[in-house]
Structure 1
Amino acid sequence: MKDDVDVLLRRLAREFRPRTNEPVDALLLRMREELPEPWQHEDITTLASEETTGHLTAFLDVLEHGLDAAEVETPPPSLEIARRFARGGVPISTLLRAYRLGHVGLFQLFQAEVPRLTDNPELINAVAMRLLAQGFAYVDRSSVRVVEAYQEERDRRLQRRLLLTNEASLRIGTTLDIGRTAQELADVGTDDFADLVVVDLRTIVLDDEDALPASGPSPLRRVAHRFASGTRSTEPRTPAGRTHTYPEESEPARALATGRAALHHIPGSEAEAWWQSTPESGDEAYGPDDFHSVLLLPLPARGEVLGLVQFFRAEGSAPFDEDDLFLAREIVARAAVSIDNARRYTQERSTALTLQRSLLPQRAVEQPAVVAATRYLPSGARAGVGGDWYDVIPLSGARVALVVGDVVGRGLGAAATMGRLRTAVRAFADIDLMPDELLTHLDDVVIRLQNEEGQETGETSATCLYAIYDPVSRVCSFASAGHVLPVVVTPPDGEDDTAGSRPVELLEAPIGPPLGLGGLPFETTQLTLPEGSLLALFTDGLIRSRTRDVDAARALLGDVLAGGPTPPKAVDRAEPAESPDEICDRILAALLPSRSSDDVALLMARTRALDPGHVAALDLPSDPAVVADARRFTSDALTAWGLEELSFTTELMVSELVTNAIRYGGVPIQLRLILQSTLTCEVFDASSTAPHLRRARTFDEGGRGLLLVAQLAERWGTRHSREGKVIWAEQALPPKEND
């Protein structure tokens, strides 16, 4: 009987083999009716016929040649279909059901053929049992291989998804630059996922505006796009940087309006029509012509849609599926957070920088004491704009105050605090406080700010260097509150600078505590500077670097100021008496060849000395009779200067100020006249008591002196020193004849 079964099975296989197409078509039709899900995937449909033919041929080989069904190799198309089921997200249960249907159908076809070859019931039954055993063995073998292929592909896709998601976390949002973040999204999206990624952002997002339009087409700007490596595709017809809008009824516009992600499969014949231009765009179309599958992903952040990301797959790539859409949604959600953070950072940085620059001096104030140049460089770090500032403040007696400070912290808070401290410094400078006294008062201001802000906002702290230069005495007085000390460059032998010959002094002086600690003293240091000396005041961002030691940076600064080595394209040092502007440029080029991680404020001042012929001084005893001598001295000095027309008012002011000094002050008493851009009259006495204006009654014999001075002078005031006080009054010079 066994031999008869083998013979009959071989005969069945030989007669069945020439007409395999008929059973294959019948099996495919039955499977379409009973299991319609897989047939929605075109790539699976194209392989189904080849796979079924492969199974039928393999089973016929088993029957004809007596092979062990458990050892027969599964046809490659069957393994490929399993992989495509996994890529398409088709459940494995559907795959196994398809196998059961297919193999049951084959068994039924063979069983129906056996009665045609024999009418022996026993032989028919034996052949049926052999077919059933061989069929189960073959199904078991092929099912195991197919399930393995399905699971391998599924695991590979899950691993790829995890890797891609992890890559997105690592590679997207590495900076707080919107364009860079968008390009990082495009780069990640084209790594083994899409053939082309296009990122469009709403122009209102890029223009630093908060509110988005409620309705209507939103203008977009093409921020980034990238093709996958080796992809041959038509370039997007909207290039990077171009502003455009999508038609209101188009799919991209619909995705933007609804904020919902969408998956679209577009037949090649409809690709051109799928993209329609708008009259104002000037483009024929917006996308590549050879794509067949696209994911539209809005960029959501804080209830707003920032823009649209589009993932394309062209010919040669499998279409996107729902699993791809889910993965793309995760990647885009991460990117949206990064882009929104970059937008908010850009807005805050722009606001802080605008505030910072508006609070800094807008133009140089004319004063005779120094020739000054300044630079402010905001940081390039993520931390944002800091609170560095500088100031040049004209003082009485032709003097000038030079200020550099740095508020601890970043952003709008630091910029606003900087503005408050700069205003306070100007107010204290206006009452002519000594550097140490001014810093003491400024320390009190910072402590009050700390108390007002409370603990939850963090402590307010700052450093400050305050210097006063007097062109009459050429004395520079300065004090530091936790701030780096200035660098002084003196001209050789009192002559103009020549390259490489300037003596540089890195000052050593007491540095007080930073502002905001309270209760600790500050100390004023004084030094006499030759005319033409350079003073370099700066914040620590100039010399602090991750790649260079502070001492090395200070040494390099000294070399540059001395006229030492300088980078290419620097100002020619062979010319004498470089301007402070040129020196500022050389310093920044040498010490900051790339963008600094901290803000930098730099103030460069070349000192002047007032012509001794423009200063007239007279020591006076404490005797009312010398008032007449003071008037004559004043008249003679004004005559020598050609200012006779100011004699009457000046003598009147001198009379009142000298009389007050004799009556209420202490010896020594000195009268000094200073001619510069204005005429200044100063009277010094050893008393520390400050005068004040008061309203004289009708029959009072005194009390009108300072009131008279205030009416005659353009400005007047009092400044104190450790030796006493000076009352000063300024008058404008009369216009010259050719003015």
Structure 2
Amino acid sequence: MRELSDSDDDPLGLQLAALGVLDDLGTVVGWSRRAQDLTGYPGHEVIGRSAFEVLVDPRDLPAVRDAAAACRKAGVWFGMLTVRHRGGEQVELGLRVSEFSRGDAREWCLAGAPAADVLEWRRDRAVLDGLYRRCPVGLVVHGPDMRILRVNRAIERFAGVTAAELRDRPVGVLLVPDDARKAVDRVRRVLRTGRSLVYSEQYARLERDPAREHVVSVSSFPMTDPAGRALGVAEMIEDITDRHRAQRRLALLAEASSHVGTTLDMGQTAWELTDVLVPHLADHASVDLLEPVVRGDEPARALIEPVVRVAMCSAGGQEHCPRAPREEPLDYAPGTPQARCLTDGRPVLAPALPSALWSLEPGIGQTLPPGAHSLIVVPLAARGLVLGVMSLWRSRRPDSFEADDLTLASELASRAALSIDNARRFAQQQQTSLTLQSSLLPSAVPQQPAIEATPRYLPAAAGPGLGGDWFDVIPLSGARVALVVGDVVGRGLHAAATMGRLRTAVHTLASLDLEPDEVLSRLDDLVNLLAAEVETARERPATQLTVSATCLYAVYDPISRRCSAARAGHPPPVVTSPDGRAELLDLPAGPPLGLGGLPFEAREFELAEGSLITLYTNGLIGERTLDADESLARLCAAVSRPADPLEETCQAVVEALVPARPADDIALVIARTRVLPERNVASWQLPQEATAATRARSLATAKLAEWGLEHLTFTTELVVSELVTNAYRYASDPVTLRLIRERSLVCEVSDGSHTSPHLRRAGSTDEGGRGLFLVAQMTERWGTRYSRDGKTVWAEQPLASG
């Protein structure tokens, strides 16, 4: 008989099926006990009768005859037929009909079973057949002796070995030794415990291809007989390498989006990029930026310039990521992947590095990582500009870079390049702003006979834009000097521009020799005017600017050792006496500039020679981590050694009060007072009489001879004569003549009148009016300053002859 199974579980097999035998005419010649149970007909009732008459309903005869014809043609037939039960009901059976011969006669063997049993068995067989022949997931059956019993075709394709070659081979035969030991331990554990194990991710390398690392999902479960005896272990193994890598790439992109570009700092952004890449994608990563980019400039489009390595990271801990760029630039040799990438702007994938590349890599500051076997170089390009390159190497992991890795690296580089370009633009704007601010601040403090001054300006390391702090040391007439510090409220270009306007105004007001409180009053008027302009501009919704400032203005006279100061909402200065006692100067606070209408009050005090006067802006003592009183105490302690060099004192103040990254701009001026020697000053009080000018000329001539300045006699006599004559004509109080010798010769004439002389050009027919014109022509500068007791007209001429 053909096609009759002897399987123990086949319902149509010889052991389980209901059997019947028909002759070539369809007469029943054999009938089994199982057939009697299914149809209800005992053998003596059907043997010798036609099966078509006994078992088949007349309505089903066409289907039965078709089945019989197909069976005669093929010699075998399988299908489902409805037969008539002895009790009259219909029974659905699964039938397998096979032809066999007995002598010369041809007979047919019918094997039947309930249709439900047949269908269930066939499904089970189809499942097994699918698992071993068509299932994409690998199946390995291990025996209790830790040897392979059977594998499916998925394992054959995965391993590149046939199932017959793997039969009776030990567990883990396909894997490298380290991974094979893990597989053996896994199978042994399931055999010992009888519990299933699920490993969502296992790393495995095949013995035939150890350089490629696979990621597999393994489910291990025990096989037992009905008595519970262990028959072996079955494992479902799925290669999820591609899916795992895709998920890892997506996770890497998500991590990069939140960790790269957190600041507007190019070096920090490059470090964040390498930190994300290592070790998830590469074993070594470096970021090299073109030199102009590091400076904040825009790189040339057609010129490849040297690069600066701003970040480097290795997975083995041999080299950590530097946050500061290397000092020396790198020049990539032509032909290296980095040079080609910079030139073409296209990424380079080198799955296997040629040995010649080792000699092409620049030796300045960095060589190829040890053991590097695969390389990716990606341009850092944003807005059409190539800013640098990112290089990735693999040395620790055996698998090489693939095309998907290049796509991921290109995406990460593109995102990071935008952040780097934003940082470059920010650095460029900051540099422009700082250049503007530095151009508005004094580049150097002029040497003064009245004081020795050392300023210090510290821009803020954080915050939106530059601030409006400023300082000034302005020479005044009579060897005096003005010390100024101020702070414009707000930040950015508007604050810097306002600071420049106020500083210019202070210079103008200082040239008028006004008292400190008057200077602040005039500044207050100017700030109110600027605020009015801003109020007009506020008709545009985008304009949200305010104008306000604080200022401290002090004037020191090295002859009288008197200092007069006033402040507008500014912190008071610190005065250090020659014996080292430092204390805050008691000055009326005054309102900030811009409130308008409120008075300012000046206060005068005397300073001993060698005293220190420290002026500063609020950023010095406004650090949030310190209390204001503690900050002032630290400041006083830092300036309590007046004999130290001023540079050292400034540095001591910075170290005591300024954090590493100050949140606000800081302006600081420390000045040591000097006293002009008495021998360099001569003063006379002249009587209010017609001979006063003659007397003044003779006194001045004698003093010039004593000082060795005879070459200035003619000019000095003319200046003294004109100024004293004007005082005699227009003033009623006694006149004072004073000569001061320092870097220039100063002639001063003081009287009790507040009437100011005016320079004018006399007509050709005028008999007078040329005196002040001659004074202005023959001296370096001249002017008038007012005091509460009168005025002083002064003129300066250089000491050198000619």
Q: Scaled by the length of structure 1, what TM-score is found?
A: 0.70
Instruction: Provide the C-alpha distance between the structure 1 equivalents of 2:367 and 2:655, rounded to a whole number of angstroms.
Output: 44
Deviates more, 1:349-358 or 1:477-486: 349-358
For 1:474 and 1:593, locate their aligned partners in 2 and report how far apart those are by CA, in whole Å: 36
Q: Counterpart of 2:285?
A: 197
2:453 corresponds to 1:372: yes
Question: Which amino acid in the other structure matches residue 588 of structure 1?
Answer: V
1:227 to 296, 314, 337: 314
1:325–1:650 CA distance, 2 compared to 1 (3 A): same
1:271 aligns with 2:273: no
Structure 1 residues 549-603: Cα deviation after superposition (integer angstroms, max 9, x where no partner): 222111111122224xxxxxxxxxxxx8333333223322333374533333221
SS where residue 5 of structure 1 aligns? coil
Secondary structure of 2:663's match? coil
Which residue matches 1:546? 624
Does the aligned pair in 2 maintain the 1:51–1:75 contact within 8 Å? no
Structure holding more helix per residue = 1
1:713 and 2:782 equivalent? no
For residues 58-97 of structure 1, the C-alpha deviation after alignment (integer angstroms, 9 at most, x for no partner) is 9xxxxxxxxxxxx998999998799xxxxx9x9x9xx9xx
Aligned partners of 1:700 and 1:211: how far apart in 2? 69
Match of 1:525 in 2: 603
* Cα distance in 2, alignment partners of residues 78 and 47 from structure 1: 17
Aligned residue number for residue 701 of structure 1: 767
1:313-712 counterparts in 2 under 5 A? 313-314=394-395, 316-321=397-402, 324-381=405-462, 383=464, 385-410=466-491, 414-447=495-528, 449=530, 454-455=537-538, 456=543, 458-492=545-579, 502-563=580-641, 577-592=643-658, 594-620=660-686, 622-667=688-733, 669-712=735-778
Bigger drift between 373-382 and 597-606 goes to 373-382
Task: Give the number of the structure with larger relative contact order, counting CA–CA contacts within 8 Å between residues 6 or more apart.
Answer: 1
Matched, 1:47 2:158: yes
For residue 85 of structure 1, what is the aligned residue in structure 2? none
Which range moves more in the overlay, 720-729 or 643-652?
Answer: 643-652
Once the two structures are TM-superposed, the CA of residue 447 in structure 1 deviates from its matched residue by: 4.8
Partner of 2:8: 6
Q: Secondary structure at the match of 2:360?
A: coil
Judge conservation of contact 1:223–1:240 (CA < 8 Å) in 2.
no
Aligned: 1:188 with 2:254: no
Contact 2:290/2:305 (8 A) holds in 1: yes
Q: What code does the residue aligned with 1:532 have?
A: G
Alpha carbons of 1:331 and 1:647: their partners in 2 closer, same or farther (altered >3 Å)?
same
Residues 61-72 of structure 1 aligned to structure 2 (within 5 Å): none
Return the match for 1:298 from 345, 367, 379: 379
Where does 1:247-258 land on structure 2 (aligned, <5 Å)? Answer: 247=334, 252-257=338-343
Amino acid across the alignment from 1:277: L
CA contact (8 A) 2:696 2:737 kept: yes
Instruction: Please say if residues 271 and 291 of structure 1, whose CA atoms lie closer than 8 Å, have aligned partners that are also in contact.
Output: no
Q: Is the 2:283–2:392 contact (alpha carbons within 8 Å) kept by the matching residues of 1?
A: yes
What amino acid does structure 2 have at the position aligned with 1:471? P
CA deviations on 1:92-126 (whole Å, 9 max, x unpaired) are: 9xx9xxxxxxxxxxxxxxxxxxxxxxxxxxxxxxx
Percent sequence identity is: 48
Q: Deviations over 1:657-697 (max 9, x none)?
A: 12212323453543322233322221223333332111222
Give the counterpart letter for 1:603 in structure 2.
V
In structure 1, distance between residues paired with 2:201 and 2:789? 104
Q: Give the Cα–Cα distance (whole angstroms) in 2 for the partners of residues 78 and 176 of structure 1.
A: 39
Deviation at 1:545, TM superposition (A): 1.5
Deviation per residue, 1:306-326 (Å, 9 max, x gap): 112133334635444565445
**Counterpart AA for 1:47:** F
Counterpart secondary structure, 1:333:
helix
Q: CA deviation at 1:412?
A: 5.4
SS at match of 1:716: strand
Shift of 1:300: 2.5
Instruction: Tell me if the contact between 1:477 and 1:527 (Cα under 8 Å) persists in the aligned partners.
Output: yes
Equivalent AA in structure 2 for residue 530 of structure 1? A
Q: Tell me the residue number matched to 2:18.
A: none
What secondary structure is seen at the aligned counterpart in 1 of 2:761?
coil
Q: CA deviation at 1:419?
A: 3.8
Distance 2:375 2:616 in 1: 55
Question: Does structure 2 retain, via aligned residues, the 8 Å contact 1:372–1:604?
Answer: yes
| Matched position secondary structure for 2:487 | strand
CA distance in 1 between partners of 2:340 and 2:731 (Å): 85
Q: CA deviation at 1:432?
A: 1.4
Further displaced range: 452-461 or 468-477: 452-461
Q: Which amino acid in structure 2 is aligned with residue 199 of structure 1?
A: V
Q: CA–CA distance in 1 between the matches of 2:327 and 2:726? A: 76
Aligned residue identity for 1:604:
I
Identify if the C-alpha distance between structure 1 residues 4 and 600 changes in structure 2 by more than 3 Å, giving closer, same or farther: same
Alpha-carbon distance in structure 2 between the residues aligned to 1:212 and 1:428 = 47
Tell me, yes or no, if the aligned pair for 1:197 and 1:311 is still in contact at 8 Å.
yes
* Deviation of 1:652 (Å): 2.7
Give the aligned partner of residue 206 of structure 1: 294
Deviations 1:510-537 (A, max 9, x none): 2333344444433322212222221111
What are the superposed Cα offsets for residues 31-71 of structure 1, whole Å, 9 maximum, x if unpaired? 9xxxxxxxxxxx9998344697899999xxxxxxxxxxxx9
After the TM superposition, which of the residue ranges 537-546 and 165-174 deviates more from structure 2? Answer: 165-174
Cα distance change of structure 1 residues 73 and 295 upon mapping to structure 2, 3 Å threshold: farther
Structure 2 residue aligned with 1:36: none
Structure 2 counterpart SS, 1:661 = helix
In the superposition, relative to structure 1, how do residues 293 and 548 fare at CA in structure 2: closer, same or farther (>3 Å)? same
Tell me the alpha carbon deviations over residues 111-169 of structure 1, each in whole angstroms, 9 at most, x when there is no partner: xxxxxxxxxxxxxxxxxxxxxxxxxxxxxx98xx668x859x958964x5565445434
Q: Which amino acid aligns with 2:572?
A: L
Structure 2: distance between partners of 1:72 and 1:604: 82
Superposition deviation, residue 255 in structure 1 = 4.2
State whether residues 685 and 734 of structure 2, in contact with CA within 8 Å, keep that contact through their aligned partners in structure 1.
Answer: yes
Q: Which amino acid aligns with 1:391?
A: D
Counterpart of 2:626, as a letter, is R
**Aligned CA distance change for structure 1 residues 8 and 716 (closer, same or farther; 3 Å):** same
Q: Which has the higher strand share?
A: 2
Distance 2:528 2:291 in 1: 44
Q: Output the CA distance in 2 between the equivalents of 1:312 and 1:293.
A: 6
Change in Cα spacing, 1:491 to 1:664, as seen in structure 2 (3 Å) is same
Secondary structure class of the residue paired with 1:6: coil
Q: Which amino acid aligns with 1:661?
A: A
**1:719 offset after TM fit, Å?**
1.4
CA drift of 1:357 comes to 3.9
Give the 3-state SS of the residue equivalent to 1:728 in structure 2.
strand
Measured in 1, the distance between the counterparts of 2:365 and 2:608 equals: 72
Larger gyration radius, structure 1 or structure 2: 2
**Which AA in structure 1 matches 2:790?**
G
* Equivalent position SS for 2:622: coil
Q: Does the CA-based 8 Å contact 2:283-2:397 persist in structure 1?
A: no
Structure-2 separation of matches of 1:334 and 1:533? 58
8 Å Cα contact 2:283-2:396 kept in structure 1: no
The one-letter amino acid of 1:522's match is F
* Residue type at the aligned position of 1:513: P
Q: Pairwise CA RMSD of aligned residues? A: 4.6
* Structure 1 residue 370 displacement after superposition: 1.1
Per the TM alignment, residue 396 of structure 1 is displaced from its structure 2 partner at its CA by: 0.5
Q: How far has the Cα of 1:462 moved from its partner? A: 3.4
Three-state SS of the structure 2 residue aligned to 1:345 is helix
